[in-house]
Amino acid sequence: MISVRLLAASGAAALLVAGCGSDSKPGADSTGTNSASAPATTTTAAATTPAEPKATTGQAPAVPNAADLKTKPRIATPRGAPPTSLIKKDLVVGHGPAIHTGQLASVQYVGVSWSNGSEFDASWDRGQPFQFPLGQQQVITGWDTGVPGMKVGGRRELVIPPGQAYGAQSPGPGIGPNETLVFVIDLERIG
């Protein structure tokens, strides 16, 4: 597995300091519009069966166990063309304080590659949260930009295009060149 800290230290991509937080609501994309909808159903004479949710261009993949903060999130295999800009979506809005640039974040996370849905890293597997100073260029740009505004106790999905991840360089096995990355991040505490 590749550690987010190791990846950030590799210097594979230029990192930027985040300028502002998110006012995203559950089911809202980075523009504040509602991108989540109820699963479609297929009706036949015999029964009604939920259709599998599908991610199309520019949408985050489904997280079937999104509301269960006591278990490692399962990220559905992304489908369609990856988005070209950062997508952040609060799956669970926390009830604690919001994190801001300059504060120390303590998070649990899972990361998968958009192209094949394979998991390349998860703090859950190490049994301890990952800590980093937000906005201090210690992690990839997509994290420094996508995490501000999260509330303690919240779970956020980030879909990070290559320009805010590792670009054309592959930082190691599991992340290819120009890979879009999908993370589900739980903010456990600040400081």
pLDDT, tens digit, 9 for 90 and up, residues 70-80: 999 999 999 99
Q: How sure is the predictor about 38, in pLDDT bands with cuts at 50, 70 and 90?
A: very low
| Catalytic-labelled residue, pool 90, 99, 166, 185 | 166
Q: How sure is the predictor about 5, in pLDDT bands with cuts at 50, 70 and 90?
A: very low
| Catalytic-labelled residue, pool 29, 121, 144, 186 | 121
| Mean pLDDT calculated for residue range 1-21 | 37
Annotated catalytic, 140? yes
Residues 6+ apart with CB under 8 A from 36: 26, 27, 28, 89
117-143 pLDDT per residue, tens: 999 999 999 999 999 999 999 999 999
| Mean pLDDT calculated for residue range 104-128 | 96
Q: Quote the percentage of the chain above a pLDDT of 70.
A: 70
Going by C-alpha positions, the residue among 21, 162, 4 that lies closest to residue 88 is 21
Annotated catalytic, 121? yes
**Residue 167 confidence (pLDDT) above 60:** yes
| Catalytic-labelled residue, pool 87, 90, 120, 185 | 120
| Catalytic-labelled residue, pool 75, 87, 140, 185 | 140
Residue 4: count other Cβ atoms within 10 Å of its Cβ: 22
- The pair of structure tokens assigned to 101 is 């640039």
Residues 6+ apart with CB under 8 A from 119: 75, 110, 111, 112, 174
- What pLDDT does 58 receive? 66
CA angle 24–72–51, rounded 5-degree value:
70
- The pair of structure tokens assigned to 173 is 């096995």
**95 touches 153 (CB < 8 A):** yes
| Catalytic-labelled residue, pool 75, 87, 99, 109 | 109
- The pair of structure tokens assigned to 156 is 């956020």
Annotated catalytic, 87? no
Annotated catalytic, 160? no
Q: How does DSSP classify residue 125?
A: G
- What pLDDT does 109 receive? 98
**Residue 53 confidence (pLDDT) above 80:** no
Annotated catalytic, 109? yes
